Amino acid sequence: MNRTKAALSTLFGPTALVTVLATLLITGLVGGLAGCARKADDAPAATQAKDAGKLNIYIWSAYLPKEVIDKFSAQTGIQVNFDVYDSNEALLEKLQSGVADYDLVVPSDYMVKILVAEKLIQPIDHAKLPNIANLDPRFLDKKFDPKNQYSLPYFWGTTGFGYNKAKLGTLDSWQAIFDAKNKGRILMLDDMREVFGATLKSMGKSLNETDPAVLKQAADLLKKQKKLVATYNSGDFANILAAGDVDIAHGYNGQLAEVVAKEPEKLAYVVPKEGATLWMDNVCLPAKARNVENAYKFLNYIMEAEVNAAIVNGVSYASANVPAKKFIAPEILNDPSIYPSDEVIGRCEFLEDIGDTTTLLDEYWTEIKAQ
């Protein structure tokens, strides 16, 4: 999120993004974000009690252009309200609370499996989504959700780091985020799995390492690194880098690609040579969704080729929609930081559910953040 063949077969045969927790309430002609759905007639009665003309979304930040939302609302009259989260764990906690009132959510690969196991999302009725035919088969039927019973791919990408190449020269290793000469000029994602993942990769280990001894080594490294870190931020990391407040920003490729494109002589994005996270975010329908039919309408809408391309052109993340490619701006399609080569993909891997080991990581993460 390194097995060369495994990563290639997983993607062809992920983050983000991410913000300081904020709540955005959009009223009037405003539309929604991504989600997956299930048969409305399979839902319990309480679930079918719906708010006519509404859709409630819980999603990563910077994941849908306003004009796409507005067009959906104008076409359907559906009002979309949405909140944003900054990590998959925050999404999980919200759904576990039992008080969440959302119709669509957008978890990453490994989190889909967890949400299914906890019965927090419900099956999708593929028959209600004719535009599902537009999805690239390479992104379907992954092991975290065989046959896509509970999820459909939205975006995919990598987690590396952006940096000031005019100041630091060319960087190609995770060692840069542990280099004392960069003290106070490093930004890390405020995301436990991603931060541990980068550290484990720097050690030559898998993102999904479960050996307690190895994880303690990683935690010790992160405790030492804490004094080098200016901030942990999962929402504005790209803008903070562009503003010159840090020289290295750990983050997701799409947002970083946008700022790099504006200052290519100054900034760069890299997937480190040790490997990194290959992620895929997916749309899903929470088990307690009330506005199921509106969710289906929106999901089918964002799978239309031109609509999907408009989303990609607005947020700079790679799509799993085949016919959308002919409408995507060439500078995005040809940008290797957005659509990486097979060689880059080959040294990446997906994050996976690591079971009870998550508890150990959470304990270490709490200690690190409390320093």
Answer yes or no: do 206 and 293 share one domain.
no
Answer yes or no: do 54 and 188 share one domain.
no
Query: If we measure between CA atoms, which residue out of 70, 77, 84 comes closest to residue 31?
Result: 70
pLDDT (tens place) for every residue of the chain, 371 residues total: 333 333 333 343 433 333 323 333 233 323 333 333 222 233 333 333 455 699 999 999 889 888 999 999 999 999 988 899 989 999 999 999 998 899 999 999 999 999 999 999 999 999 999 999 999 999 999 999 999 999 999 999 999 999 999 999 999 999 999 999 999 999 999 999 999 999 999 999 999 999 999 999 999 999 999 999 999 999 899 999 999 999 999 999 999 999 999 999 999 999 999 999 999 999 999 999 999 999 999 999 999 999 999 999 999 999 999 999 999 999 999 999 999 999 999 999 999 999 999 999 999 999 999 99
What integer pLDDT is reported at residue 225 of this predicted model?
A: 98
Answer yes or no: do 147 and 225 share one domain.
no
Number of other residues whose CB lies within 10 A of the CB of residue 262: 9
Answer yes or no: do 86 and 59 share one domain.
yes
What gap in Å lies between CA 80 and CA 102, rounded to an integer? 11
CA-to-CA dists, residue 267 to 15, 223, 229, angstroms: 21, 28, 19
Residue 262, amino acid = K
Which domain does 210 fall in, by range? Answer: 158-277+348-370
DSSP conformation letters of 79-116: EEEEEEESSHHHHHHHHHTS----SEE--BHHHHHHHH
Answer yes or no: do 199 and 235 share one domain.
yes
Answer yes or no: do 183 and 309 share one domain.
no
pTM: 0.82
364 occurs within a structural domain: yes
Query: H-helix or E-strand containing 192?
Result: helix 192-202
Asked if 250 and 205 touch (Cβ cutoff 8 Å), the reply is no
Answer yes or no: do 271 and 335 share one domain.
no
Instruction: Check which CATH number belongs to the domain holding 195 and give it.
Output: 3.40.190.10
State percent of the chain over pLDDT 70.
86
What gap in Å lies between CA 88 and CA 91, rounded to an integer? 5
Give the list of residues 6+ apart from residue 145 with CB closer than 8 angstroms, or none.
112, 113, 116, 151, 282
The pair of structure tokens assigned to 326 is: 């002919």
Asked if 34 and 308 touch (Cβ cutoff 8 Å), the reply is no
Domain count, the chain: 2
The pair of structure tokens assigned to 323 is: 């016919």
